[in-house]
A and B are shown apart, each in its own frame.
Chain A
Amino acid sequence: MDFLEVLAEIVGSILIFLKPLVVPIGQWMVDWITTTTQFFKENLGASLTFYIVICAILVVSGIVINILWPGDRPGSIFSKGVEKIEEYEDKIGVSEDEDIVDEIKRCKDCGNPVGDSEICPLCGARQI
């Protein structure tokens, strides 16, 4: 019994100590909840249709969003499109690189790009 009394006194002291902090928080909670519930009561208190529709929308949209973005892999619909785009980008990227590399004429001595000129502008070596 003594232990319980001590425990009750400790809990009571903590509550009294926290009262200046807890009371405004509780009051704030009560204020906004009262305002919101009052709004619901005045504007949406006639029938359950609104609430049923919201619930149905949440469930249906939850299902749709989970099909599109399940979380453990990229979304099933858009990922296919993205994969195809990436494939095309890779192909285009590789072919362009190869073409550019092949087309550029370089100096035989220093490797500097020389274009159509017969003399390397960097080292002066003739390219014929």
Chain B
Amino acid sequence: MGAVKNMVRGFLFTGIYVVFTIVIPLITFTLLFNIEGLPIEWEKQDQQNITFWLTAFGLLVSGFAFFKYSSPKQSIRKGIFALIQVIINCLYLWSYRFSGAAEITFIIVDYGFFSLSLAQMILIYMGIYFLTIILKVYDVIDFTINREKIRENRMKE
């Protein structure tokens, strides 16, 4: 029963991650690239580049999310895969930047242009992710040291 419950949880969270890391960004970018009638032209974007890297890292994040969320609570494997997932998340976020999606220049016809830089916002996220990495490393150490105690408590439940 525990295995089935774990896997259902894993698939559920994988679905959520697929939606939020792949589907929604792809739909958003596709709409922005293809929408007509707006007095805005994309100048710098490379749609293929952005969609490729979002899909690639989104797949990795979703795969690691399945492994993480299908693992038992406070298990060492959950800790390790949570740590890897955070690191992959950093790459995913950064893919917005090096794909060009973090520095968007809008050209408004007959008016001028303006640039929207999300690089600073991503840098702040990176700082938060650093703290998250530290926490995940602590979790792995904690789960390893208290392995027997955690296992006993889990068996009692």
Contact = CB atoms under 8 A, between A and B. Distances in A.
A54 B94 contact: no
B interface, size bucket = 35 or more
A36 interface: yes
Interface stretch (B31-39, B64-72, B100-108, B110-118): B64-72
Interface residues of A, number: 33
Contacts of B60: 51, 54-55
A72 B154 contact: yes
A55 B63 CA distance: 4
B91 A55 contact: no
A20 interface: no
Given A40-B91, A45-B52, A48-B52, 20 more contacts: A25-B130, A26-B123, A33-B94, A33-B126, A40-B56, A41-B98, A48-B56, A51-B60, A66-B6, A66-B7, A66-B10, A70-B3, A70-B72, A71-B2, A71-B75, A71-B154, A72-B2, A72-B154, A73-B2, A73-B155
